[in-house]
Amino acid sequence: MKFTIYSVLLVLFCISCKGKNENPFGIDENRNKETRIADFVDNKIWNQWTSYYKQKDSNFSINKFKFLKKDTLIVSKGTIFGVFDKEFDSIYLPFLRFNPAEKKYIDLDSYQWTLDGNNEIVMDVDQEVALVNLEDKTIHRIAFRGALQWVEDAFWENDNCVVLLENSNENRLRFSEINFITKTINVYEHDATLEKKPDYFMHKLYLENLNVKQSK
């Protein structure tokens, strides 16, 4: 009888360990994804981004986002100018994403593009995603992207959590939820490749009535 009890306990222990190894962060992936998207439904930028891809590609669905991984947030010194610097170009103002308290904002654009003398966009392959604190006038880099992956837009869930909306050269959309308190990043990826390669960047400029020319 004792042998039977010990055998059962051993089996249960092994199952428990196996589950922990498969999900080391203790995340209920499907519930977490559904909860996150449910929280986004009233957000203007989320709806703007998802509506754009719904119109452009039949493969897109918000239900196709799956939990991909959990990362640690790495913060370093930013290189862009803040709105409090005299060198800041006001052309980027419409694209700054402020937190609800309006004490911080995310800048996706200052590092990546500018306008030349002919009002044409000059793009840089690299992109710095910067967190700017208006209270202490500090600028920190929270992400850095390149030709293979880029951030198209961003919004705040609350004063300490921001969501980056991303695309890649493989036409795989994803969103990264950054928590500045826990310094963690939950990444969710669209499990279907888009058939087309839309230009959300130009769409974003169009929505802000920015009259610019796309460089040839």
pLDDT tens sequence across 66-121:
999 999 999 999 999 999 999 999 999 999 999 999 999 999 999 999 998 888 89
Using only C-alpha atoms, what is the Rg of the chain? Answer: 21
Most confident of 14-18, 37-41, 46-50, 117-121: 46-50
How high is the pLDDT of residue 210?
80
The answer on pLDDT for 26 being more than 80 is no
**Confidence tier at 203 by pLDDT (50, 70, 90):** very high
DSSP state of 64: G
2 lies in a domain? no
DSSP state of 135: T
3 lies in a domain? no
Q: Model-level pTM?
A: 0.83
Residue range(s) defining the domain that contains residue 100 = 32-214
116 lies in a domain? yes
133 lies in a domain? yes
Encoded tokens for 195:
């058939």
Task: State the total domains in the chain.
Answer: 1
The answer on pLDDT for 155 being more than 60 is yes
The answer on pLDDT for 55 being more than 80 is yes
**Confidence tier at 214 by pLDDT (50, 70, 90):** low
76 lies in a domain? yes
C-alpha distances out from residue 7 to 11, 32, 111, 179, Å: 6, 34, 61, 43
